[in-house]
Amino acid sequence: MSAFARVTRRSLLRGGAVMLGSAAAAPLLSACGGGGQGGNPKELTFWNFYGPNPQPDAQSKWFTDLAAQWNANNEVKVKLHYMPVTEYLAGRALQTAFSAGEGPDIFLLSPGDFLRYHNGGVLTDLTPYLGPDQIADFADGALDTRKVDGKVYGLPMEREPLAVFYSVDAFEQAKLSEGDLPKTWDQLLDVAGKLTSKDRFGLLFETIPGYYQNFTWYPFMWMAGGSAVPENGGPGFDSPAVHSALKLWQDGITAKVCPRKPQGDGGTDTPANLGAGFAAMQQTGIWGVSQLAQNNAQNNKDFRYGVFPLPVPEGGTYTTSVGGWAFVANAKGANPEAAAKFIAWALGANDAEGVERGRRWNTVVKANLPARTSVQEAAKSAGAFDDPALKVFLDKVVPGSRGEPRYTPEVYKAVSDAIQATQLGGADPAKAAADAAAKIDTFLKGYKGAAML
């Protein structure tokens, strides 16, 4: 995955789950301080996990070039503060800094942890710094989980949708063709059975608990008509839809067509699982395209694969989950206005230079779908989506997609426990859902934060 393999949103979410799962009930954040280097209003600290990396790569250079260009034209400077994954999330450095009143002026945030910081009152409203045309340029739904009451609190860098990758060789060995690509849940397990051998599993779902596993399971819940929290007067997590989604993942393990433990870096690692022949199909995201391309180049291979949208249950509606990180500004920092202006320029500028900056991030140094329409059109014109797999993502996977949900750590943990209990623990899906729903409902009775989406 080019430099994309070094740090991925997925590995961060799994690392973050260690922090969030064990500290879900911890005091949220301090309401004072900011500006991690003593609160200098002339120097904004930007905590990130890309650059300047001690081992420079294309992603690191994109970040250092971004800061250098801003600094050359603005009195208030941006100082990048690189942090390895373990420090940024798993090490709780970000939470600790905010609790001490020393949070950075600018930082990266995923939808999965948005409510922790918004409810803590530390996210700056970016809306006054964005023109209506800039906001309108973001693709449908791209800003939904970064908005509260119509105000924008974060600008996404990218869109990362989920689909199923499959091995062409494995299909051919099983005498299957493109016409056999599963479109329903029943077909998915049936085809997985035909692809399973003594040396290979037919299908891989993530089994490691964490925000990433939840992220990959949510589409199945949605397609069946379920929700983690009550929506429009619905039943919430304890519903037949949720039971069926939990049972699908459980059935894959019970039938021994899915592994109990993935290889390499887990369900995010396409070369170690699909590419290595450990699984014939793997649910993962668009980053797999970059992963496999780099793996082929490094190992002089020609691994053949295809991509298809997530199968749909009987009577369900196709939906996939789309993730991606966003830039956010610390409302308690030394200069929130300058931080907001930097973010609006870095990710929202719609001049030629701003569009090119977005194109390079999404289709040159990484392999994503851009969050902005203008950037996506520029990428199309440059031939970025000529790759057959990326074309499938653009034409077939993204339509009907839904942004990664934003739930509180308490809701995330209840859902995660239900997935683990059923998928690997053999628990009855209805009971696991009821247990989780009881925890969620109890929490919601006293919840006063922003809406969960």
Question: For 92-96, 154-158, 187-191, 388-392, which range has the lowest pLDDT when averaged over its residues?
Answer: 92-96
Task: Report the pLDDT value the prediction gives residue 29, as an integer from 0 to 100.
Answer: 54
Please give the single-letter amino acid code of residue 353: E
Task: Report the pLDDT value the prediction gives residue 89, as an integer from 0 to 100.
Answer: 66
- Full domain range(s) for residue 45: 2-159+324-390
Q: Is the pLDDT of residue 340 over 90?
A: yes
Q: Is the pLDDT of residue 71 over 90?
A: yes
Task: Report the pLDDT value the prediction gives residue 93, as an integer from 0 to 100.
Answer: 84
Q: Which two tokens stand for residue 423?
A: 């998928």
Task: Report the pLDDT value the prediction gives residue 31, as an integer from 0 to 100.
Answer: 40
pLDDT digits (tens, 9 = 90+) for 282-308: 999 999 998 999 899 999 899 999 999
Do residues 348 and 232 share a domain? no
Do residues 52 and 146 share a domain? yes
d(C-alpha 59, C-alpha 66), whole Å: 11
Task: Report the pLDDT value the prediction gives residue 3, as an integer from 0 to 100.
Answer: 31
Q: Give the residue carrying structure tokens 């900011």.
A: 34
Q: Is the pLDDT of residue 218 over 80?
A: yes
Answer with the residue of higher pLDDT: 12 or 81: 81
Domain contains 351: yes
Do residues 312 and 328 share a domain? no
Task: Report the pLDDT value the prediction gives residue 338, as an integer from 0 to 100.
Answer: 98
Closest CA to 167 of 294, 273, 321: 273
Instruction: Decide if 327 contacts 123 (C-beta within 8 A).
Output: no
d(C-alpha 337, C-alpha 300), whole Å: 50
Do residues 276 and 424 share a domain? yes
Do residues 441 and 380 share a domain? no
The domain tally of the chain equals 2
Do residues 25 and 150 share a domain? yes
Domain contains 277: yes
Task: Give the mean model confidence (pLDDT) for residues 202-230.
Answer: 96
Q: Is the pLDDT of residue 23 over 80?
A: no
pLDDT digits (tens, 9 = 90+) for 304-331: 999 999 999 999 999 999 999 999 999 9
Do residues 311 and 335 share a domain? no
Residue finishing a domain among 390, 417, 437: 390
Closest CA to 66 of 311, 292, 284, 360: 360
Give the pLDDT band of residue 211 (cuts 50, 70, 90). Answer: confident
Do residues 276 and 250 share a domain? yes
Task: Give the mean model confidence (pLDDT) for residues 411-419.
Answer: 97
Please enumerate in sequence order all residues whose Cβ is within 8 A of that of 54, keeping only pairs 6 or more positions apart, or say none.
Answer: 82
Task: Report the pLDDT value the prediction gives residue 24, as an integer from 0 to 100.
Answer: 33
d(C-alpha 365, C-alpha 349), whole Å: 19
Give the whole-number percent of the chain exceeding pLDDT 90. 80
Please provide the average confidence, as pLDDT, over all residues in the chain: 90
DSSP letter for 330, please: B
Answer with the residue of higher pLDDT: 32 or 332: 332
Please give the single-letter amino acid code of residue 216: T
Instruction: Decide if 74 contacts 349 (C-beta within 8 A).
Output: no
Domain contains 56: yes
Do residues 354 and 370 share a domain? yes
Domain contains 108: yes
Do residues 43 and 150 share a domain? yes
Task: Give the mean model confidence (pLDDT) for residues 171-192.
Answer: 98
Q: Is the pLDDT of residue 363 over 80?
A: yes
- Kindly report the CATH number assigned to the domain that includes residue 59: 3.40.190.10
Domain contains 402: no
Task: List, as one string, the DSSP characters of 17-31.
Answer: HHHHHHSTTS----S
Give the pLDDT band of residue 38 (cuts 50, 70, 90). Answer: low
Task: Give the mean model confidence (pLDDT) for residues 434-446.
Answer: 97
Q: Is the pLDDT of residue 25 over 80?
A: no
Q: Is the pLDDT of residue 36 over 90?
A: no
Q: Is the pLDDT of residue 11 over 90?
A: no
Task: Report the pLDDT value the prediction gives residue 92, as an integer from 0 to 100.
Answer: 79
Do residues 65 and 189 share a domain? no
Instruction: Decide if 306 contacts 165 (C-beta within 8 A).
Output: yes
- What's the whole-model pTM score? 0.88
Task: Report the pLDDT value the prediction gives residue 7, as an integer from 0 to 100.
Answer: 42
Domain contains 112: yes
Q: Helix, strand, coil: what percent of the chain each, to 5?
A: 45, 15, 40
Do residues 209 and 98 share a domain? no
Q: Is the pLDDT of residue 91 over 80?
A: no
pLDDT digits (tens, 9 = 90+) for 97-145: 998 889 999 999 989 889 999 999 999 999 999 999 999 999 988 999 9
Task: Report the pLDDT value the prediction gives residue 183, as an integer from 0 to 100.
Answer: 98
Domain contains 395: no
Domain contains 399: no
Give the pLDDT band of residue 86 (cuts 50, 70, 90). Answer: low
Task: Report the pLDDT value the prediction gives residue 217, as an integer from 0 to 100.
Answer: 98
Give the whole-number percent of the chain exceeding pLDDT 70. 91
